[in-house]
């Protein structure tokens, strides 16, 4: 009983490393840095995590899976590609440094409440050639928040299902229709018979891989909906997390990255 309880606690907990826990060593200046976007929450859903991050920032949904997801994905990019990879970073959407980076990531975008300055900055970033990956938001309510926000960012640009023939699906790894599968968060894992880990997809949820394009039909937003790529990166070194799902999450992320840097 106690072991089962402990496993449940591990599976449901968000990783918040201790301030003195060592992180991987990356170069300070490289052609690619994982950039996590800090944004304003919707007031009614604002999240206080009850901890202070290593640089003194400790509030907002943007923090979910930080820093392990960022570190692990960056390590994977180092190992699996020839991209010169540096230390992960995070900035406010309104920070001018954002334009120095071709690829940015935002999680929990069903709870964001971007103000007008953030809307204008994200529009400028995307239209100047930037690429945004959004992840880990769920259900009709969160979808509506995200879609309404993106309609303000890029009015008249639809969010469409990602076609299997799109070059982003083949720029390095071939991602096929069969790969559009649910990538679980740790909260979706349970102990099965014989101690095996069982994935439980939330009832009524259907994973979707969608995109937005600019006027030149360049993909500028990758949408991971009803799925949790960030957790697959965050728990890449954990024996409780399904290896096949981490592998798929890396393939999606690296394809997004290489597309962003070559198109």
Distance of CA 227 to the CA centre of its chain: 10
Name the residue with tokens 């960012």.
153
Q: Is the pLDDT of residue 9 over 60?
A: no
Mean pLDDT for 137-155 is: 97
Cα(182)–Cα(205) distance, rounded to whole angstroms?
Answer: 9
Q: Is the pLDDT of residue 206 over 70?
A: yes
Q: Within 10 Å of residue 87's Cβ, how many Cβ atoms?
A: 17
- Domains within the chain, CATH numbers bracketed: 29-262 (3.40.50.12140)
DSSP, collapsed to helix, strand or coil, labels residue 108 as coil
Q: Within 10 Å of residue 101's Cβ, how many Cβ atoms?
A: 18
Cα(30)–Cα(194) distance, rounded to whole angstroms?
Answer: 46
Cα(113)–Cα(72) distance, rounded to whole angstroms?
Answer: 28
Split at pLDDT 50, 70, 90, the class of 13 is very low
Contact 237/72 with Cβ under 8 angstroms? yes
pTM recorded for the entire structure:
0.89
Cα(221)–Cα(186) distance, rounded to whole angstroms?
Answer: 25
Residue scoring higher pLDDT (26 or 106) = 106
Name the residue with tokens 């309404």.
148
Cα(24)–Cα(74) distance, rounded to whole angstroms?
Answer: 9
Q: Is the pLDDT of residue 19 over 70?
A: no
Split at pLDDT 50, 70, 90, the class of 23 is confident
């Amino acid at each position: 009983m106690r072991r089962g309880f402990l496993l449940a606690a591990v599976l449901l907990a968000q990783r918040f490393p201790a301030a003195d826990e060592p992180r991987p060593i990356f170069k300070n200046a490289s052609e690619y840095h994982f950039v996590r976007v800090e944004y304003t929450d919707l007031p009614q859903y604002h999240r206080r995590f009850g901890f202070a991050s290593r640089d003194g920032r400790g509030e907002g949904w943007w923090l979910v899976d930080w820093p392990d997801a960022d570190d692990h994905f960056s390590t994977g990019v180092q190992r699996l590609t020839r991209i010169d990879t540096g230390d992960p970073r995070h900035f406010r959407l309104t920070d001018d440094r954002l334009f120095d980076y071709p690829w940015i990531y935002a999680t929990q975008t069903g709870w964001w409440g971007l103000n007008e300055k953030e809307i204008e900055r994200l529009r400028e970033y995307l239209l100047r050639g930037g690429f945004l990956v959004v992840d880990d938001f769920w259900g009709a309510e969160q979808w509506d928040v995200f879609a309404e926000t993106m309609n303000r960012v890029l009015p008249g640009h639809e969010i469409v299902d990602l076609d299997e023939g799109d070059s982003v699906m083949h720029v390095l790894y071939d991602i096929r229709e069969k790969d559009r599968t649910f990538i679980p968060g740790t909260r979706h894992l349970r102990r099965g018979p014989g101690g095996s880990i069982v994935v439980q997809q939330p009832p009524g949820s259907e994973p979707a891989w969608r995109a937005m394009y600019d006027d030149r039909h360049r993909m500028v937003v990758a949408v991971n909906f009803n799925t949790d790529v960030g957790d697959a990166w965050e728990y890449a070194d954990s024996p409780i997390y399904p290896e096949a799902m981490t592998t798929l999450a890396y393939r999606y992320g690296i394809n997004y990255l290489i597309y962003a840097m070559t198109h």
